[in-house]
Structure 1
Amino acid sequence: MLSVGALRAHLVAARLAGTVSTSREKSLHSYRLFAARDPRQTWGLDPEGAWGAAELLRLMADRCGVSPDPGETSGQDVIDPDCTLAALDAFAERLARAAQDRIPVLLGTGHPHRLLGFYASLAAALSAAGCVVLTPAYGRCVYMPTQFGVRRHSLWYVGGVAVVRPVDGAAGTDGEVEHGVHTHSPLPVRAALAAAAEQGGVLPGLVVGDHGFICGAGQLGIEAIGLADSDDPAVFVAEAEGRVSVAVPLDDTVRSDYYRPLTRYVLNRAWLSQ
């Protein structure tokens, strides 16, 4: 089993935590957009608090370890690896309870090129433990705003994990058509949950993912846990307000294989290793 010390060293070496690739400018810009309630940053969340830019910076310093100094406006952001480790432990604990209770789960990612393998491993382990891994609205059309205007996408599941793919001329590379597109939208999880409800099917007791998948689910009152970067204030606000149970701070854009030690650590901590 990977030790805590070894995982901490990996987090820093792979730049999953410590000094990360996300720029300070990008993070501060995201906080300002969220403070202005720009839907590009609220991700389906309707915050209860005022959450101005200064409050968001204090929250992100507390939950992620970014610099609390508003005068620090350039350079690379920092995520405290100890914050990441503590959140990973809480994340694993919640997965363990889900497996023990055999609750139905829904997994989805807006970062399929980076994080699909991480979530697919969780889906396989939860399924093996007796949880139903839900796949509602498979193939359903989802109209999503993009930089090119509203485009038609479809909801698919890869390894039990929800992703969205472009269709009918929507801008996308071959990889995006195969694996899914990068998205912050809450619309895919809303479509999945609506389909389950319409068909009288099983609703998830837990949603696992990132971006709009967990913010959108949490806003609808479904427990959610997941990963978030230092420029993802919506997830940490949702956690602070009790609509996301666990938000794990880490860089969500590194190479996909760098997440494998995290996968092993979480599955071991959750007693889900096979």
Structure 2
Amino acid sequence: MLSSVALRAHLLGARLAGTVATPREESLRRYRLFAARDPRVLIGIDPEGDWGQRELLGLMADRCGVSADPRRISGHDVIDPGRTLAALDAFAERLAAAVRCRAHVLLGTGHPHRLLGFYVALADALSAAGCTVLTPAQGRCVDITTRFGLRTHHLAYVRGVALVRAPGTERPGGEPGAHTHSPLPVRTALAAAAEAGGPLPGLVIGDHGWVCGAGQLGFEAIGLADTDDPAPFVGEAEGSVSVVVPLDDGVRSDYYRPLTRYVLNRACLSQ
């Protein structure tokens, strides 16, 4: 069993928390864009409150542990590992609750290069415990605006975890999936499930647009987020997202394995 003390040491050693690689300049830039209601940064959240830059900085200081000083405009962001551990505990509690009621679960990621393994392990454990892992809209086209213009992607599932792939990457050895913040994939999946007469998920697990888009539509959603993504934390503050775990979402994929073991053990889902 991985203790909280050992996991805290891992979070700091792998730079999942503590001083992380996320540039302070990038976080502040995205807070400004969110305050301006830029849809690229809202990623599916429709804020109820007036979230100016100062309010967002205060929120991220509270939820993540970043510096609340607006005069600090350079360097790297800092995530308090204690906040990460507390959020992982809350995350595990929601997994355990989903198992108790045999909930239907939808998992999806916009960060497949880094986080796919984390979600696959959750999907396997939830399925083994009696939850139904949903895979609606397999192969459906999703048009996503990128920096290169509008691009058509396809919704795919890898061992129960949804992601999108750009055309030409479905071949063996191709990319595991595209990086995206868009809420359109989860909206597509949920719409397809509804059109088919259900079932609909009792819990959505993911990141970026997956957690924000689902939460905004009224589905219980939990996920992971970095300091330069304020939308999930605003959703959590306003009640549309249940749990957000603050961590660096861009480190090596194997660095997330101890988090998987910790969460599954806390949820009594260790296999």
What TM-score does the superposition give when structure 2 sets the normalisation length? 0.98
Q: Which residue of 2 aligns with 1:91?
A: 91
**Structure 1 residue ranges without an equivalent (≥5):** none
Secondary structure, counterpart of 2:151 in structure 1: strand
Q: Distance in 1 between matches of 2:41 and 2:143?
A: 18
TM-superposition CA deviations, 1:128-168 (whole Å, max 9, x none): 00000000000000000011110110000001000000016
Q: Which residue of 2 aligns with 1:255?
A: 252
1:189 paired residue among 173, 186, 190: 186
Alpha-carbon displacement from aligned partner over 1:52-106 (angstroms, at most 9, x marks no partner): 0000000000000000000000000000000000000000000001011110000
Kindly provide the amino acid, as one letter, of the partner of residue 37 in structure 2: R
- Structure 2 letter corresponding to 1:74: S
2:198 aligned with 1:201: yes
Equivalent residue in structure 2 for 1:271, among 240, 262, 268: 268
Aligned match of 1:122: 122
Q: Is the CA contact (8 Å cut-off) linking 1:154 and 1:167 kept in structure 2? A: yes
RMSD: 1.3
SS at structure 1 position matched to 2:73? coil
Q: Check the 8 A contact 1:166/1:176 in 2, yes or no.
A: no
Task: Please name the residue that 1:47 is paired with.
Answer: 47
Cα 1:226–1:36, aligned 2, differ >3 Å: closer, same or farther?
A: same
The answer to whether structure 1 residue 216 and structure 2 residue 213 are counterparts is yes
Q: Is the 8 A contact 1:165 1:177 kept in 2?
A: no
State the SS of the aligned residue for 1:66: coil
Contact 1:103/1:204 (8 A) holds in 2:
yes
CA distance in structure 1 between the aligned counterparts of 2:101 and 2:173, rounded to whole angstroms:
35
The CA deviation at 1:190 is 0.3
Aligned length: 271
Alignment partner, residue 145 of structure 1: 145
Distance 2:231 2:201 in 1: 21
Q: CA deviation at 1:178?
A: 3.6
Provide the C-alpha distance between the structure 2 equivalents of 1:148 and 1:173, rounded to a whole number of angstroms. Answer: 20
Asked whether the equivalents of residues 105 and 134 of structure 1 are also in contact (C-alpha less than 8 Å), the reply is yes
The one-letter amino acid paired with 1:252 is D
Equivalence for 1:7: 7
**SS at 1:163's partner residue?**
strand
Call closer, same or farther: CA 1:137–1:78 in 2, change over 3 Å. Answer: same
What TM-score results when the alignment is normalised by the length of structure 1?
Answer: 0.97
**Identity, % of aligned pairs?**
74
Name 1:245's counterpart in structure 2: 242
CA contact (8 A) 1:21 1:77 kept: yes
Match in the other structure for 1:225: 222
The answer as to whether partners of 1:142 and 1:155 remain within 8 angstroms in 2 is yes
CA displacement at 1:176 relative to structure 2: 9.5
| Residue 177 (structure 2) pairs with residue 180 (structure 1) | yes
Which residue of structure 2 aligns with residue 75 of structure 1? 75
User: What is the CA–CA distance in structure 2 between the aligned matches of 1:176 and 1:60, rounded to whole Å?
Assistant: 38
Residues 172-181 or 156-165, more deviating: 172-181
Name the structure 2 match of 1:60: 60
